[in-house]
Every structure is written in structure tokens, then in C-alpha cells.
Chain A
Amino acid sequence: MIHKSLVPYLILMLLKFSVLAQEAEKLIINKDYYAMTLRSVLIDLSKSYNLQVDYNQEDVKGYAVFSGHFEMPLGRFMETILTNTALKFKIVENQIQIRNNSVEISLKDKEYAPKADFTLTGLVRDQETGEILPFAQIIVVGTTNGTTSNVDGYFTLFHVPSDTSQLLVGYVGYEKKTLSLTPRLVNNKLVIDLVKGSLQLADVNIVGERKDLMKVSEKISETALTPREIAVLPSLGEKDIFRTFQLLPGISGSNEGSAGLYVRGGTPDQNLILYDGFTVYHVDHLFGMFSTFNSNAVIDVKLFKGGFESRYGGRLSSVMDIVGKDGNENNFNLGADLSFLSFNAFTEFPLGKNITVLFAFRRSFQSALYNKFFENYNSETTTTQFGGNNGNRPFGRRMETAEPVSYFYDINSKISYNPSKKDIISWSIFNGKDVLDNSRENNRSFGGMEMNNSINDLTDWGNLGSSLKWSRKWNQKFYTNTLVSYSNYFSIRDRTSENTRINEDDEYETMKQGTYENNDLQDFAFKTDDQWEINLTHRVEFGLQANYFNIKYNYQRDDTITIQNRDDQASLFAFYLQDNWTPVTRLCIIPGVRVSYYSGTQKPYFEPRLSASYALTERWKLKAAWGEYDQFAQRVIREDIQSGSKDFWMLANDEDVSVSSAEHYIVGFSYETPSYLFDVEAYYKQLNGLTEYTLRYIPQFGSVDYNEFYYTGDGYAQGIEFLVQKKFGNPSGWMGYTLGEVMYNFPVYGDNSFAASHDVTHEFKMVGIYKLKKWTFSMTWIFATGKPYTKPLGGYQIELPDGTVQEYIMVGQKNGSRYPNYHRLDMAVSRNMKFGDMATGAISFSLFNVYNRKNVWYKEFEMVEGQLIETDVNLLGITPNITLSFSLK
């Protein structure tokens, strides 16, 4: 075990001795010299460190270097070995010239022609790990000339005034850095290293600083998160990116049963979730308690709540772009987290000169906490059989109870390869799965008669995705990013039971009953995203995207009745073009268009988009966006009480599931000071072509054409969001309030519109973080008004000819009533620890739903002897959790 872990160290030691020539002055000599002449030392020096040493043989004759171990910078080393000699030296880059004290050194400082009003290219990295930092901000101090680094960390600045200008570089979670340019820096590849600092959640278009305000990226409705830092927030066993986003205004925070995001009245399937470029179709683990994304493997997450650019398409509401970590370029790193719920481990290390590897694994175990979630959210227990008859009462029926087996796991891995200064190739793989197995078997034999009865109760769903990406910065102005990817979402729900018996002819007869459901989605994609920085005023972005979808959905009942059997394929081609246009310095306009062709309907779709932002003053900023969006693969929500994956993905076509579309209108403004941010945004979304599929109108026994039961409708969502954030200092945090409305209109339910099931009118959220030495205290409080539901108005009875009486209910207006208000307080305290110089760690204690409020999840209605009995099924009560974290770096 030990020797295996030494391998990366060995590789590392080998790497230490190869060095960039330009860094000669910083070069640390680490050598042992014993009884060697000066000349042999100089020869060894030039060989070992790739230096050019220029000396006269006559000059160095007769000198020796005293024996010992030398570990010091090159400059000091030269001084040391030339002490007591009549020689002097000069180092310029990778050249050393040694001359007699009386002779002039002819080595000239490398001279660079002075530069003014020039274009500067560079790379932004994490100083410690060497990992690139995407979307960092760089600005020339004293001007409004700035830019952001792209997804590979590269940036280009136009019209830099002089080669001695100062740059201010910032990135969420890192200390801001002021870099003074020098002629040498600007004439060679510029690499800017940033040091990790204390963090706050910040709007990515504004990163404040005590002396200077910096507004560089002008994208509307955009929010960024640093995954590393969400560990301080209260958690339910796993720190989770999606759950943290739910603490922001505009994103619904009262959905405990879904990790997916309800952004501005949209449903989770209307979000485009990209992980290293490939689309992820299902993001829930453990009935929606967490998302499938391991924070330890993610470096950057950006959420576009609406009005997103033409670069992204195929979804109606929002885009979440997740960039996985590349891996530590310099050192081997290992870390692990352990909580009441799961175990999480990751490792990252360099492999060879230009390769880095990252690997992260997470698995749950069936602790008491896991079982608690399971019992609370596994809603299959309470199905009142309404209207059913008394059925058979077989004598001696026996049910064997078994412990269900349930777990989830996910694996993230990424290999990045830098073949040259201009290219980056990376391969990312992601696999996650949830398994819920409650199957049991029952063998009985009575007086010679064998009976075998096995009941399957298996829910199995997950994702497998992979992308291979090549990005290249061709020159200062042109950058391309090409990608091929594969994404697979699978979901199996097996609730069949098999009965085997010997019939009168002494033959085995097997009868299969129950439901079996299988949804399998495959998405093959090719994408290219290109940037062309024409000049300071125009940066043009364009790209091509091609997808091939293969979606199967099979829903069987009782082994013979096929309710749905779909096997659809379709292709989607898209081209987009947009221009980041700054006609005057304070105004940025991004017009764009996305054109798609979808083979399922054989039609083209035009999606024009426009966004703009204007900096009124240094503190005030106005922004607006408008766009049209289409969605071709839909997640149809199936109305069924069985738990597990209750929905399935389908391709739109001309017949039953239509291509859905949306139009966004967003306006907003923000006011920012060094410490505070105040942000307001109002939105209106028109939605068309929404699909609902329901089994409830179909008799359980019948051979009706089930394809008839897709219903189409439209709706709108509108609202206004307020955010007040204290970005720095102690305590820090934010408060958000959203006023919103989502109304649907489905003709099958009537002429009138009804509130969508996820409609929340008022939502208020508060997050506070307080640091005290090694301790961090955090709290979150969420308040949301209740969601709508359909209430029963009354009941009636029908007596069947055989004398049995059945009771039924009559429902009221669809979604006409509201659940009681939802509110919840979570708190956490964590303590950082250091294990000497070896490693760091933390222990945190979290309490979810501190005052144990019984928030209603849904209601169950039962009519017993003419009276309605209403039972509340509640969400999670007070839940504690402890997490231990550990990492080498």
C-alpha cells in the first residue's frame, strides 16, 4: 500500500529537475558536490539545469569547489562557488557568463522593444495546484479595460497602455492580485498565479475590492459558486452544489423531494445541465436529497437563470455549466469526507510532464440517516385502494418482510493533457447510480404442492457520461473548443411478481403480474465553440452542435399489456452566432441567433437573442435580456403514485409530444459598493407546447391506445427577485426575496388557467456565515408560501350488484387550494484542523430543520363511512449530521 503511493512522489522528484528556462533566476540548485573542480561543477550545472555557461578554461583552472550539499537559488550558488576566486558572473535568463574580475562582461541584458498599446495574452492558474482558473477577471488598473479568462484559463487583453502597466486579477475564492508588468513578462508567455483566499458567494459580474471596483463580465442573471467553500453551509450529510443554489432568489428552496432546480417557475427538466460539456439528464440521488455532482471534483459552476446566450440551446429555463477540476499539476493530493450518510474520496496528481489526473468516488452506506430519508421519501407505502373491491381473502397468506437494499454511488474522473502551450486535451468521465431493491422471495409447499412466489421491487437509475475535449488558442485572437460526448440516462422500475404453480396437468405454470418500466436515453454529441476577438469592440462567438438522440421507453403491465413502447431516434443540428459588442466603454450589447434543425419534426427553428448591460456609474448598472428558446427532448411527468423515477424522457414529434418553446423578457439593475451588493431582476417567460401524460383517465384493465393520453398546454411565469449581499467582513451572507407566479393552461382540464404545481408566491431566504478563528458558524432560513394542490369537495357511494359498497370523491378546482406555509432553519458549525504540515481537515456538525417544523409534502384523502379523512405526509423533521473532511493539500 505504501509503495504504491510513493510512485507519484518519485515522478514528482524527477519532474523537479526539469525547469523552464525563463525562470532561471528563481531556479533553486539542489546538488551534492564532492571533491570537484570548478570546471566540472560548471559542466554538471549546465547539463543538469539546461543552462548555457560561458567561461574561459584558463580562468577557471586551478579552482575547486568545497564539498558539501548545496540547496539555494542559482544566484547565491554562483556567488558561493566563486568566492575566493578572481571571477565574477552575470545571469541573464538561462545564460551565465563568467569572466575575470578585470574583464568586462559582455553579456547583455535581453532587451525587449518597448511596447505600447499592445495586445497581451496570458493564462490564469491556482498557484498551489497549477490548475487553470476559468472565467477569472483581469483588468488594467486605472482603466475600464478588462476581460475574463475562458473555460481553459486563457485571456486576451487589447490596448494595454504600456509594458509597465498594472493588472488587477480576481477570481471567486481567491485573493485578488495586482501584477506589475515588465518588458520581460509581456514578451513571454504570461502566467498569473492566484492564491486561495477566504470566500464569499459572489455575482460573477461584480467582484468588489476595497480600493477598486471591478466590473468586467456583463452577463445578466448569472451566478457563480465556488464548490470548495460550500462546505461551511449546513448540509444533510453531503455538501451539495444544487442545494446551495436553492438558497438564491429566483430558485425554489422548498423542494426537499427534488435536487433539480425550479428556476423562475421552470421545472428541472427545463434546465440544461452541462458537466465538462456533456448533458446530464437526471440529477437526483436518494429521492432528490442530493444531486449527482460531487463537489470535490468540480472547480467552477455557473448558473444562468434566464436570458442565456445563443451558445446554449435545447432548454427553456436555465443553464448550469459545471467545469470539473483538472487535477493538481504540481503535487499528489488525496482527500476524503465521511458523514452520516456517505463516504467520499478523491485523488489528483500529475502524470508525466503535461498530464494531470483527477479521480473522485462517493458511495452511501445504509446508516440510520440514510434509512430515515428512505422511509420519509419512499412514498409507495400509502396507497389507499379507492374503489377497489374487497378482493380475495386467501387463507394463510403470508408476507415476508425483508430489509430493502438501497445505496447510491458516483465516480468522476478526468485526465488533462497539455501537449503544447496552445492546446489542452481533456477526457472526462462521470458515472452515478441509485439502487433500491426491495425484492423478496417466498417458497411454500403444502402437502406435496409447490408454490413459488417472487416479488421484484427494484428501482435502478443513473447516468453515464463522457466527453473528450480539445481546445486550442490558435493565436491571440482566435480560440476554438471542440468536443465529442456521450451521455446515457437509464431508469428501471420493476414491480413485477411471479407466481409459479403446478396446474391440474401437473405442469408448471408461471403467471407474471405487476408493472415494469424501462427508460433509456442516449445522447451522442459533437460540439465546437469558437471565439474570435476581432478588436476591442467586437468579440464574435460562433459554433456548431450536432446531437443524435436514441430514447427508449417501455412500460408493461402484467407481462402482456404494453402501455407504452417507444423507441425513438432523432437528430438535432444547431448553429449559433453572437457578438460581444461594446460600442462605447460602459455599454455592452450581445446580439445573437441560434438556428436549429430537428429531424423529429423536420423543421428549422430560429432563436434570436439579445442581452445588454450598461454601467450608469461605477456603482449603478442596468441590464436587460430577451430571447426565444426551444426544447426538443422533454421530460414528461407521469402522474403515478409509485415512487422512484416517476418521469421519463421523450423526443418531441409531430403527433403527441410537441416541441416546446419559451420567450424570456428580463430587466434588472444592481447597485454595488465594496462591501455590499444590491441586485433586482424582473422576468416574464411565455411557455408553449408543454406536455403532460397521465394514466389516470385510463382503466387499469384494458387495451386502449395509451398514446392518446398526452395533453398539451401552455402557460407563463413571471416574477421579481431582490438580493442584498454582504460580500466581505464578518459576518457575511445574503438575503433574498422572490415574488413569483406560474400559471398553466391545459385545455383538457378546462378553459381556465390554474397555478402550476410548483408555483410559489412569496419566498424569502437568508444565509449567514460567521468566522471566529478556526470556527465557522453558518445558518440558513427559508420561508415559502405553500404550493397548490387539488382539494376534494365531497364524496359519494356506489353499491355494486354483489352488495359491496364503494366510495369515491369529487375533486374541486385543479390546484385551487394551497398547502400551509413552508419554513425551515438549518444551522452548522465547523472547525478547521491542521495535521502538522501534512494535511488539513475539518469537522462539522449540522442540524437540519432545527425547530422541527412539520412541513407538508402532500395530503392523502380517504373516505370512510361518508367522512373525509385528511392525512398530512410531512417532509423531513430535525436531522443531525456530522461530517469529517481530510485532505493532503
Chain B
Amino acid sequence: MNKIFRLVVLLAFLMIGCQENGEGTLSIEQVVVVESFLAPGHPASIKLSSVIPFTTDTTTEIADAISGMEVSISVGDLNYNLVEMTDTPGTYEEPTKRLVIEEGETYQLQFTYFDQEVIGTTQVPSKPANFEISDTLIKLPRITEDSGPGGMPSMTEIEIIWDNDESDYYLLTIQYMEEEYDTINTVFEIEDAEAAANFSSQPLQVNFYSIRSMQFSFFGRYQIVLSHINPEYASLFETLNQSSLEGLTEPESNVINGKGIFTSYNSDTLWIDVLEE
């Protein structure tokens, strides 16, 4: 199933390639960016926006939302129409909540834009199995200016493991749950607290991940989310060539006749508390 899926992805990209270049190129106004991450337990949500053209006059920072589209998602024989949310234009959801995202099912997105049929397909991966963490509680000393020399804490490593026999892609995210930031090391000033408190891994194809205690900047509770993702989601992390030396590149997209991503993932959550010694 994966092989066919990859072929579809490739084919999709080639077809996009064929259409985007040369005189048959769509003008930039006719290109739609799809943003959709389906997950079990969350309502299906599709966000459509346009590409911001690079002109010297443009100062808009936000892309224009694309409204008024007739968007539908089908799974098996069933077809659901999505409705645009009034408070967030460009975002389409399924109001009746009959559309449920389930593991193993394949969902297809469809709508028409400028006479082009925009299609995306994704299969929901399985929930991470045997997701375990070595410690749910660690204690670290608070470092203040009064802390004596040689006060480097012993390096504890927190090991996280899960099953991954097929070398599928996984993503690990660590999120700080507290409302206020309780700094561990008061000697150094942290400029961007939010960036320091939350961090994620690159797509992993292994079955383990280790966090060093030094990586925690604040005391409190952290949520550890492991997501089983699809290849098209992993490709978003590609290091893309952004210099014209070798030719500019575009990220791979699994949306036919459009850009962006239509994917699904499945995650599990654990917690860890970081307390003061």
C-alpha cells in the first residue's frame, strides 16, 4: 500500500510539474495552498489560502484566504461536504460531526478551483504502540548566582521508546503545560521563552529518542507527544535549496493541482514533571 502511495505521490508531483512550468503555467492567482492535518479525535479541518506573489508593492503578511469553495472529503463510499467557518474564512469543517477520522481509513479531499480539480489523499497511520518513557519525574537543582562552582548537574538522560519495525516516520514534540515560566537556570537570560520551552524532533525512523535533562529550561509539567506521520508530512522538513546556484526547488506536495499538504497522523501522549531538587 505504501509503495502505491509513493507512486501516487510521485505521479502527482510530476503532474504538477507538467502543469506549473512553461507557457501552460497557471498564473499565481490560480494556485491554491491546502493545509490540512487530519487526526483521530480531532475534527477534520481544511484551510485554503492563496500564494502571496512577490512584488515590491505587496506588504501583506498573511495570505488571502480562499472562500466560497465547495470542499468535500470522501472515505470509502461516503462523501461529506465541508462548510466554511464564519469566524475563520478559508477554513472548512464538517459541522455535523459525522465525519470521524479513524485509524487505517483513507480519506480523499476534493474541490474545484479555476476549472482545476484539486485532489488530496491520505491514509491515517496507526497509533504509536508501546510508547514508554524512562522517567515521568526528574529533579534538577535550580542554578542561581549563589550556586557554587562545579555545580554542573549530572546529565540525566530520559529515554523514550516505541515500536517501529517498519521504519515508519514519527515525530516527537515536547510541550510545556504550565502557564508561567519557572526558570531553572536564572543566571542566563532566555530571550524567547516559548521557543525554549517547546521543542520538536526531526522526523524519526528509529524507535527511540533521548532527551538530556539540560534541554529543559523550566520547571513544571511537559507533555510528550509522539505522532505517527506519513511520508508527505516528513517531506515538509526537507532542507530545500533556496539559492539559484543550483536552481530553486519547491517542496514536494501531495496535493494534485495545488500546493501545500493534505495529510493525517496519529499520536499518543505521555507526561513528565521536572521538579526542583
A residues lining the B interface (CB < 8 Å): 379, 382-396, 446-449, 503-504, 639-641, 646, 696-697, 699-704, 708, 748-752, 754, 757, 789-804, 806, 808-815, 857-862, 865-868, 873
Contact = CB atoms under 8 A, between A and B. Distances in A.
A708 B9 CA distance: 14
A703 B157 CA distance: 29
B49 interface: yes
A646 B241 CA distance: 14
B215 A395 contact: yes
B231 A702 contact: yes
A809 B248 contact: yes
A386 B265 CA distance: 22
19 contacts: A387-B239, A388-B238, A393-B195, A447-B152, A448-B154, A639-B249, A641-B241, A699-B235, A790-B244, A793-B28, A795-B52, A796-B63, A796-B260, A802-B175, A808-B240, A811-B20, A813-B21, A859-B244, A866-B62
Nearest to A799: B35
Interface string B198-231: 1111110100000010110100000001010001
A814 B260 contact: no
B117 to A, nearest CB: 20
Interface in B1-54: 6, 10, 13-14, 17-18, 20-25, 28, 31, 33, 35, 37, 39, 49-54
Contacts of B18: 750-751
Contacts of A390: 195, 199-200
Interface string B68-104: 0000000000000000000000000000000000000
B251 interface: yes
B245 A700 contact: no
A796 B242 contact: no
B130 interface: no
B250 interface: yes
A700 B239 contact: yes
B148 interface: no
| 9 residue pairs, one from A and one from B, having the closest CB atoms | A752-B22, A750-B21, A858-B245, A866-B61, A789-B244, A794-B51, A868-B54, A696-B249, A699-B235
B137 interface: no
B237 interface: yes
Contacts of A808: 240, 250-251, 259
Interface centre among B14, B195, B201, B238 (most CB of A within 10 A): B238
B240 A391 contact: no
B246 A639 contact: yes
Contacts of A384: 242
Interface residues of B, number: 82
Contacts of B234: 699, 701-702
Contacts of A790: 244, 247-248
A868 B246 CA distance: 19
B236 interface: yes
A794 B238 CA distance: 19
Nearest to B37: A801
Given A392-B201, A801-B39, A810-B250, A860 B51 contact: no
B202 A386 contact: no
Contacts of A804: 200
Contacts of B154: 447-449
B85 to A, nearest CB: 16
A697 B14 CA distance: 10
Contact of A858 (B185, B235, B244): B244
Contact of A796 (B21, B153, B212, B259): B259
B276 interface: no
Contact of A798 (B13, B214, B236): B236
A810 B31 contact: yes
Interface string B234-276: 1111111111111111111000000111000100000000000
A735 B153 CA distance: 73
B178 interface: no
Nearest to A397: B214
A237 to B, nearest CB: 24
B240 A696 contact: yes
Interface centre among A699, A704, A859, A866 (most CB of B within 10 A): A699
A798 B35 contact: yes
Contact of A814 (B35, B155, B212, B247): B247
B231 A699 contact: yes
Contacts of B250: 808-811
Nearest to A749: B21
B242 to A, nearest CB: 5
A861 B152 CA distance: 42
Given A750-B17, A792-B54, 5 more contacts: A392-B201, A396-B214, A504-B157, A806-B236, A866-B61
Contacts of B167: 703
B199 A392 contact: yes
A789 B249 CA distance: 12
A452 to B, nearest CB: 14
A453 to B, nearest CB: 14
A639 B241 contact: yes
